[in-house]
Chains A and B, each alone.
Chain A
Amino acid sequence: MGPVQVLEHGSQTPLLTIMVLVPLVGAAVVALMPRRRPEPAKLVALLFAVATTALTVAVLVAFEAGEAGFQLTDRHEWIEAFGISWHVGVDGISLFLVVLTGLLFPIAMVGADPHHDSKAYFAWMLLLEAGCLGAFIALDLFLFFVSFEIVLVPMYFLIGQWGHGERTYAALKFFLYTMLGSAFMLVSLVATAVLYSRGANADLTFDLVEIANGAPGAIGLEAGRWLFAGFAIAFAVKVPLFPLHTWLPDAHTNAPTGGSIILAGVMLKLGTYGLVRYGLYLFPEAASYFAPLMVTLGVIGVIYGAVVATMQKDLKRLVAYSSVAHLGFIALGTFALTSQGVTGGVLQMINHGLSTGALFLLVGLIAERRHTRQIAELRGLQKQAPIMAALFTVVMMSSIGLPGLNGFVGEFLILLGSFGTRRWWAVVAAAGVIFAAVYLLWAYQRVFHGEPDDEKPFGEIRWTEGLVLAPLVGLIVFLGVYPKPVLDRIEPSVEAVIDHVEARGGFQAPEVPRLGPAPGAHDEGEEAAPAEPGH
């Protein structure tokens, strides 16, 4: 399979551009609504969010399965002097992240009400949605950076104004951590464009496809590694990879429920998605060079996240740390550099969005009823709210990776894909699956089992709340039983990226999981590989 191409066919209407503009316009409309009457704000915001969901579904329908390249592309000059354009498109890797974003935003908006000033809350939410969608569909480095960075502002306000506890501190920490990472990325990104145009003797351009597929070796070997490192720091903060994860528990715990759902469900994926798109695809050689390090950090994250989650007293903080573990898994799959591993990683991004989104929603419902998230203060909820307990069980099992639910498919693919190239890492990471069962089941026991506190009533889940959860639970089951339609769309694009890494990076992914030499021996093979493929 050739390099990832921009496919010209597809619908003539700029579906993706409209998809970003709708929430953006929605944010402006909601912001300009009269302040005195906040009730219609939620309705209008929801209308725009649902319209965006419809558009993401339209993208899913218009997407042609079995094609590897970017589809539904749309391109307009933006800042010509810098070769910056509004260039958007989706491939199998970004497609489901777009759909996930479209799905989670309305859920986050109706799932939890802000406690005051709802107009501003919903305006920020819509701006956040536009930014997230923009980052997933950007095919221009500048456009990606702008989208990646602009999401900080709405999230900063969501945490700071509508959060709990130490929200000022959490919001600041979140903003500054991510911005520091982005500073490295911005310098790398500009250097990538400058070095490419110099090496390839071309005009300055920030077009991702042009740079990634253009003259091989235009960016030198050494330079490419530095540039990759710059990008990787930004993404490692966002993912977050150990040891850059410390902002996450604070931000997730103190954010309002809606913010936590988006933060975990969508925004963390900006990091893992970035690692695939701007790591593997843009710097194939450097990606295979740094793969051992990235895989190690991922595995440390799996174990560390699980261990720390086990010790948490706060239910929401526990879910937050479980994200560190899950995202470490995704990093492992991504840098296994095999088709199964990366496919599993992409699928797991979706799975994590569904299950963690649902978990945060459920924790939010519990906290709303009891005004506490402390595990020690909750018990016996199963007797008082059996349906909620059942839903919690399904979601939790998905997070643990029980066969038949979506989490299993993703984790299995990741382990399968990484076992060939990074056997011992895969073995250690597999232990993380067991840890996940430990901390989640233990938390479930303490919260839901036992005798209920009779003095404190606990309301059963309302049908409106159930309706909000239903799509998530439905997809969790559906993807666990029949993931084929999703995998069919992800795989061609992932294979194209792996081919790209092999062709450009001098890395050979094993055809089948092999019983070959230990990973240490593999590293030598990499160094002996042709340095600059273009020469």
Chain B
Amino acid sequence: MKSFKDNGESSVSKSGFKQEIGLFGGVSFLGGIMIGGGIFYLGSYVLMRTEFNMGLALICWGIGGIITCWEDFVLRKWAQ
């Protein structure tokens, strides 16, 4: 796996997939998957769980993002 060379130039990878997704495509793919209907109703569940403390609720949303980023780093860096 270490000998893998990035062939960013070619339009079809060795395995036969077309390489058509760029940076904006990657971000929108993630945005498309991650931002679902949840943004519109999960806030209510979070408020119920913090006993309607709004400050704590916002902190929890932040922690959720930090956990997600942290998991990403653990996964990606350790695979090296």
A and B: interacting chains: no
Interface residues of A (CB under 8 A from B): none
Interface residues of B (CB under 8 A from A): none
